[in-house]
Structure 1
Amino acid sequence: MTSAKPRLAYIGLGLMGGPMARRLLSLEYPMRVFDVDAGRMAGLVKAGAVQTFSPIACAKGADVILINLPSQSAIEAVVFGEDGLLGSLSTESVVVDFSTVSPDFCRRIAERATDKTGSQWIDAPVSGGPSAAADGTLTIMMGGTQQAVKALRSLFTDIARQVTHVGKTGTGSVAKMIAQLIVGSNYAVLAEAVRLAEASGMNAALLPECVKFGHADGVLMQQLYPRIAAHDFTPRAYARQLLKDLEMVQEEARVAGTATPMSGQATQLFRLLIAAGHGDMDGTGIYRLYEGVENHHENRGGAQ
C-alpha cells in the first residue's frame, strides 16, 4: 500500500455504511464514496470524502474497497454489473464486504472476483448497530486469508472493539448467521416478555432492573428490551433486513442438515410483521404482532 493509511473506496452508505464511513474519515483515511442515493454522499463529501458516480469509479486507485449493501442482488450488481467495481480490481486490491449475506453466496462471489482479478476478498459482517458504527465499537467476524486480515488489522480496530478472524472466506458469514439466529429469536422473546408484563399489570420498564446480574440479564435485555417497553420502533435496522437474515439462517441450517425450530418460529413472526406492512420499522416492532393477537382474541370473545 502506498500511504500510511490505505486509500479506501466505500460503497453503500446506509444505516451502517454511512456512520462507518464517517468514522473512518474522522480518522483521516483517504476515501472515495458511492451510493445509489446521492443524498447519502453529500454529508460525507463535506467530511472530506470524494464523491463518485459508479462503483468502478469509486474503486479506481483504491487499496481497499469496502462494501456495505442491503442484499445479495445489490452486491452482485455492484461487483459484476455495468460499471461494476470488478473493472477496477487488480492483484493488489482487497475487497472487504461488511454486508450480511449467506455463506454460500459469499464464497461464490469471492471466488468469481478472485479468479477474474487476483484480488483478495474478506467477508467481515458486523454487529452493534448504527451507534456502534459511529463510535468505532462494532463487533466484526471475518473470513479471509491470514495475510489479508493481518494487513488490515489497524483499519478493523479503528472501527471495532471486537475483531475475530474466524477462518477462510465465508466463515465470517457463518458466524454472523449464528449471531442473527440468536438476535432474531431474542427480538421475539423480549417482545413477548414486554407484552406479558404489561398484560399482567407490571411496570414493564422495570424488568431489566429486576433481572440485572441474573440469568435473564444480558446486552439485549439492557439495550433492546427498554426500546420495546417504550414502544420505540424507530429503525436502527430494518425489520425486513432481519427477516432476510433469518431466512438465510433457515437455508444455512437446511444445507447443514440441522434443525433450528426456535429461529424458525421467529422467522415466521417476522414474515407476518412484514406482510402487515411494517418492513421499514425496527425489529422491535415485532411487538405489534402481540397487540394484534390480543385484539383478535378480544374480538372473538366479544362475538361469543
Structure 2
Amino acid sequence: MSELPSLAFAGIGLMGLPMCRRLLTAGYRVTVWNRSPDKCAPLVALGAQVADTPAALCDAAGIVLLCLADTAVVRAVVFGPNGIIEGAREGQLLVDHSSLEPSATREMAAALAARGMRWVDAPVSGGTAGAEAGSLAIMAGGRAEDIERVRPILMHLGQRLTHMGEVGAGQVTKACNQMIVACNALVIAEVVALAERAGVDTRLLATALAGGFADSKPLQILAPQMAASEFEPVKWHVRTLLKDLDTATGLAREQGGATPMTGLAAQLMRLHGSHGHLERDPATLVELFRERRS
C-alpha cells in the first residue's frame, strides 16, 4: 500500500477547520497556516504541523489546499510577501476551495504556472455541516490529470467531485450554485415572515413542505432557524453570499447576459448587510422582511 502524500492547507476558518480535521483523521500528514495562528490549535492537537508562512507550505507538501475568504485574500496568500509563489516548485498543485471570481482565478493560475505549480479551482457547497460530514459537493476546474491526482484526497471531504472544465470552470459553477442558494434563502425569509403575519405556525413549515416541489436543503436548514429566530452559532455569513452574488452578476456582465433575479438578490443582501448583519448567519435575512411589517 503506497504512503499517503503530505498535504498543506491555508485557511482554518468555518470550513477549513472541519476539512483539515477530516484529512488528519484519514491519516494524511497535514501542515497548516492561518493568518490567526491560534485557530490552528485544534488541528495541532490532532497532529498537524504549523507553517510560519504560506511559502513554507510548499516545503512541507506537494499539494497545497486553500479555503480563504475571497479573491483579495487568495491573491495576498499566493502572491504577497512570503506567499506561496515564493516556495512553489515544478510539479506541485494548488487546490483552491475558496469562492473566487473566475477571471481572477484564471489570471492567478497562469502566473503560478510560470513557476511550475498548477492550479485546480475546487469550490465546495454544503456548508459547515457538509464539511464536518465529508458530504460536500465539489466542482472543479483544471487539467483532468490534476483533478484525478487529487480525487482520492478530496473524496475524504465530499460525496462528489465533478470536473467542470478548464481552470475557472469550477468557479463559474460555484457562482451558479450561489445564485440558487441566495435567491432561495431570500424567498424562504419572505415565506417565513409572510406566514408569521398570517398566523401560521412557522415551526411546521419545513416539515409540511418536505418532499414537495418547494423542498430544498436551505428550506430544511433555514426555515426552522428563522421561525425560532435562532441565529447562533453562525454557520456561514451574509457577507459570503453577498460576495458570491456580486461575482455572479459580474460574470453575467462579462458574458453579456442578464441575471435580474440575482441582481435583486444582491441588492436585498446588501441592504441587509448594511444594517449590521454582514458577519451574521443568513438565517437573519428573515429580519429584513419582519422589519417591513410597519
- TM-score, structure 1 length as denominator? 0.93
SS of equivalent residue, structure 2 residue 31: strand
Q: CA deviation at 1:108?
A: 0.6
Structure 1 runs of 4+ aligned residues shifted over 4 Å read none
Residue in structure 2 matched with residue 302 of structure 1 by the alignment: none
Residues of 1 paired with 2:231 and 2:171: CA distance? 27
Residues of 1 paired with 2:14 and 2:210: CA distance? 30
User: Of the candidates 207, 211, 215, which is equivalent to residue 213 of structure 2?
Assistant: 215
Q: CA deviation at 1:274?
A: 1.2
Counterpart contact for 1:269–1:286, Cα < 8 Å = no
Residues of 2 paired with 1:219 and 1:275: CA distance? 27
Equivalent residues in 2 for 1:27-176 (5 A)?
Answer: 27-115=26-114, 117-176=115-174
Residue in structure 2 matched with residue 266 of structure 1 by the alignment: 265
Residues of 2 paired with 1:279 and 1:126: CA distance? 21
Q: CA RMSD in A?
A: 1.1
1:243-287, Cα deviation, whole Å (9 max, x unpaired): 111111110111111111111111111111111111110111111
Residues of 2 paired with 1:63 and 1:6: CA distance? 8
Q: CA deviation at 1:184?
A: 0.6
Counterpart contact for 2:11–2:67, Cα < 8 Å = yes
Q: CA deviation at 1:16?
A: 0.5
Residues of 2 paired with 1:63 and 1:208: CA distance? 45
Residues of 2 paired with 1:92 and 1:205: CA distance? 53
Counterpart contact for 1:142–1:166, Cα < 8 Å = yes
Counterpart contact for 2:32–2:49, Cα < 8 Å = yes
Q: Which amino acid aligns with 2:130?
A: A
Q: Which amino acid aligns with 2:248?
A: V
Residues of 1 paired with 2:89 and 2:52: CA distance? 20
Q: CA deviation at 1:58?
A: 2.2
Counterpart contact for 2:7–2:30, Cα < 8 Å = yes
Q: CA deviation at 1:218?
A: 2.1
Q: CA deviation at 1:237?
A: 0.9
1:256 corresponds to 2:282 = no
Counterpart contact for 1:61–1:88, Cα < 8 Å = no
1:149-177, Cα deviation, whole Å (9 max, x unpaired): 11111111111001111111100000000
Residue in structure 1 matched with residue 176 of structure 2 by the alignment: 178
Equivalent residues in 2 for 1:285-300 (5 A)?
Answer: 285-294=284-293, 298=294
Q: CA deviation at 1:130?
A: 1.0
Residues of 2 paired with 1:32 and 1:250: CA distance? 36
Q: Which amino acid aligns with 2:223?
A: Y
SS of equivalent residue, structure 2 residue 60: coil
Residues of 1 paired with 2:20 and 2:282: CA distance? 24
Counterpart contact for 2:58–2:89, Cα < 8 Å = no
Q: CA deviation at 1:229?
A: 1.7
Identity of aligned residues (%): 37
Residues of 1 paired with 2:211 and 2:198: CA distance? 23
SS of equivalent residue, structure 1 residue 107: helix
Counterpart contact for 1:13–1:40, Cα < 8 Å = yes
Residue in structure 1 matched with residue 22 of structure 2 by the alignment: 23
SS of equivalent residue, structure 1 residue 152: helix
Residue in structure 2 matched with residue 192 of structure 1 by the alignment: 190
Q: CA deviation at 1:224?
A: 2.4
Q: Which has the larger radius of gyration?
A: 1
Q: CA deviation at 1:48?
A: 0.5
Residues of 2 paired with 1:89 and 1:75: CA distance? 15
Q: CA deviation at 1:223?
A: 2.3
Residues of 2 paired with 1:186 and 1:4: CA distance? 44
1:36-88, Cα deviation, whole Å (9 max, x unpaired): 11111111111100012210112213110001100111111111111001111
After alignment, is 59-68 or 164-173 more displaced?
59-68
Q: Which amino acid aligns with 2:16?
A: G
Q: CA deviation at 1:213?
A: 2.2
Aligned residues: 292
